Amino acid sequence: MTVAVPPAGRKPRLPRTPSAARLAPARRPDAAALTAALLGWYDRHRRVLPWRAPAGVRADPYAVWLSEIMLQQTTVKAVVPYFRTFTAAFPTVRDLAAAELDSVLRLWAGLGYYARARNLHACARAVAERHGGVFPGTVDALRALPGIGDYTANAIAAIAFDVPVVPIDGNVERVLTRLHALEEELPGGKPRLRALADALEPAGRAGDFAQALMDLGATICTPKSPACVLCPWSEPCAARRRGDPEGFPRKAPKKEGTLRRGAAFVAVRGDGAVLVRSRPEKGLLGGMTEVPTTAWSADFSPQNALDHAPGLDAVAPGWRRLPGVVTHVFTHFPLELFVFVAAVPAGVDAPAGTRWVAQGDIAGEAFPNVMRKVLAHAGIDPKPAPPDPSPRISKPKRSPR
């Protein structure tokens, strides 16, 4: 279905009479009216978040950038404690640039998508070196920095610099495809979505407008059971009028990955030290810490697992397989790990490419969650990955239905 998008700044003609209104074909909603309704709603219901400035105050670009990177494919609830930890450890982008990559990875551990942490560090250094420690205020300059794609460049430009652009994330995607009942499947329909976003009018409040769209998507226009009765755009929403808001956005089904298996080896010394190694910089869980494992493959069998773990038979005389398996689901494949444990005599050297981590340092290692599960399965408490999910943030809960 082809949808004509009116040029920004011009309103579609309104029908003259009520009867004409009823008979008229669906019209593009009036951009100025949409803006007024959305910003009015935002002024009453905006969420209070650690990286947001008070109403009427422009937010700190560093805080906006840091939060936007953390929020990529990640929930607000998960991000808040990490955001507090990072701003405490690195008050400015220069502090972050001066830090070792390894300390950044350690603080990031548990948040997922670890390439973000490496790009975060690289971006901080680029800002420090290329821009004198000050974030640039244009979409193009932001877009050129590591870890900043189309969405994030537009979000930072709008929120931190009030550049009149509309960032499109999952929330905005949902809100706009519903508002227009866009039939075209995503991601193919993204260019049309871009046109719909560009037809909106932030009216001099680009930052508020962008965050209003996201708050609307996060609290009202939710994927399941949207609260249309509370929505400022309820009246013009084509999907609601059609009685099927949940049906948007239209998406092509995605295929699932096949199960992989492997073995993980937990070698524990008498003093509590554990044998670990670092994963390669690139790829799955890049740069993170792990206990030695076999390769993970669809045809793995635990029978001769040690044959596929060179050097480990020399570390300890008796490897014992624990009952059960550790399961973990990555975005693109599920994983089952068989866990082997061994008590290692004092004085045994770590094989090439591995190292001993003292008992007290285990919590500080950059273990991804799958490895924390393995350690827990072996009876070792890896300590909570995320910082304390301490002070509550405002939660605009609505009554259950």
Partner DNA sequence: AACGCGTGGTC
Partner DNA sequence: TGACCAAGCGT
Cβ distance to DNA smaller for residue 74 or 103: 74
Cβ distance to DNA smaller for residue 253 or 391: 253
Among 132, 283, 323, 391, binds DNA (CB under 7 A): 283
Least Cβ distance, residue 223 to DNA (angstroms) = 4
DSSP secondary structure letters along 76-124: HHHHHHHHHHHHHH-SSHHHHHHS-HHHHHHHHTTSS-THHHHHHHHHH
Task: Respond yes or no on whether the N-terminal peptide bond of residue 187 is cis (omega within 30° of 0).
Answer: yes
The yes or no reply on residue 220 touching DNA (CB under 7 A) is: no
Q: Which residues have a catalytic role annotated?
A: 68
Q: In a 10 Å sphere around its CB, with 0-12 CB exposed, 13-18 middle and 19+ buried, how is residue 387 labelled?
A: middle
Cβ distance to DNA smaller for residue 31 or 221: 221
* Residues whose CB falls within 8 Å of the CB of residue 200, separated by 6 or more in sequence, listed in order: 31, 34, 35, 166, 209
The yes or no reply on residue 337 touching DNA (CB under 7 A) is: no
Residue window 32-51: x/- pattern of binding to DNA, with contact defined by CB under 7 A: ---------------x-x--
Given a contact cutoff of 8 angstroms between Cβ atoms, the answer to whether 107 and 85 are in contact is yes
Cβ distance to DNA smaller for residue 44 or 282: 282
Sign of the alpha-carbon dihedral angle for 11, 189, 137, 36? positive
* Residues whose CB falls within 8 Å of the CB of residue 13, separated by 6 or more in sequence, listed in order: none
Q: Give dist(CA 347, CA 361) in Å, integer.
A: 19
The yes or no reply on residue 396 touching DNA (CB under 7 A) is: no
Give the range of 25-33, 93-101, 217-225, 311-319 binding DNA by CB under 7 A: 217-225
The yes or no reply on residue 385 touching DNA (CB under 7 A) is: yes
Cβ distance to DNA smaller for residue 321 or 328: 328
Among 45, 89, 99, 151, binds DNA (CB under 7 A): 151
Given a contact cutoff of 8 angstroms between Cβ atoms, the answer to whether 83 and 74 are in contact is no
Which DSSP symbol is given to 367?
Answer: -
- 10 Å Cβ neighbour count for 264? 27
Radius of gyration of the chain (CA): 26
Least Cβ distance, residue 72 to DNA (angstroms) = 4
Residue window 49-88: x/- pattern of binding to DNA, with contact defined by CB under 7 A: x-----------------xx--xxxxxxxx----------
From the list 152, 131, 132, 130, the residue with the least C-alpha distance to 143 is 152
Q: Give dist(CA 11, CA 6) in Å, integer.
A: 7
Among 115, 186, 203, 306, binds DNA (CB under 7 A): 115
Residue that has been written with the tokens 């524990």 in this structure: 268
316-335 residues in contact with DNA (CB under 7 A) are 328-332
**In this structure, what token pair is assigned to residue 203?**
């009216």
Least Cβ distance, residue 370 to DNA (angstroms) = 4
353-382 residues in contact with DNA (CB under 7 A) are 368-370
The yes or no reply on residue 262 touching DNA (CB under 7 A) is: no
Cβ distance to DNA smaller for residue 29 or 147: 147
Residue window 153-192: x/- pattern of binding to DNA, with contact defined by CB under 7 A: x-x-------------xxx--x------------x-----
CA angle centred on 73, ends 292 and 399, rounded to 5°? 120
Give the range of 19-27, 176-184, 210-218, 237-245 binding DNA by CB under 7 A: 210-218
Cβ distance to DNA smaller for residue 299 or 349: 299
4-23 residues in contact with DNA (CB under 7 A) are none
Determine the straight-line distance between the first and last CA of the chain, rounded to whole angstroms. 34
Q: Site residues (CB under 7 A) for DNA?
A: 47, 49, 67-68, 71-78, 110-115, 119, 146-153, 155, 169-171, 174, 187, 211, 214-215, 217-218, 222-225, 251, 253-254, 256-257, 283-286, 328-332, 368-370, 385-386
